Amino acid sequence: QEVKESLLHHERYLTLQLLSGTSTDEFIGRTVSDLNLPAGVLVALVRRDGQITVPSGRTTLQEGDRVTIIGNPASIDRLYELYRVGEAEGVVQ
């Protein structure tokens, strides 16, 4: 987390925790390539069970995953607006 924050400015990334019954529920069980993300973003990291991986398009996301999405500031802002309700749910980090 500290390395990520030192390498990337906050306007260029968003981390979402995938939890059922929250705004990120739609990600669970889907592959990275099946996500409906705005142009200009990339799922860069998936943290699962203490392990960090760089996902491929075939990586299936699971409940509890922490997904770090990087991209241009406008697209990250758009994602933040879509999922900002998740701050109260604990999914936007």
Query: In CATH, what number is assigned to the domain containing residue 16?
Result: 3.30.70.1450
pLDDT in tens, 38-91: 999 999 999 999 999 999 999 999 999 999 999 888 998 888 888 776 566 656
**Total number of domains in the chain:** 1
**Residue 44 structural domain:** 2-86
Residues sharing a CB contact under 8 Å with residue 67, sequence separation 6 or more, in sequence order: 15, 16, 17, 18, 27, 43, 45, 46, 47, 61
CA pair distance 58, 72, nearest whole angstrom: 23
pTM to 2 decimals? 0.82
Sign, CA dihedral 1-27-23-63, equals negative
Q: Return the pLDDT at 11.
A: 74
CA pair distance 39, 10, nearest whole angstrom: 18
| Mean per-residue pLDDT, 27-45 | 94
In a domain, residue 93? The reply is no
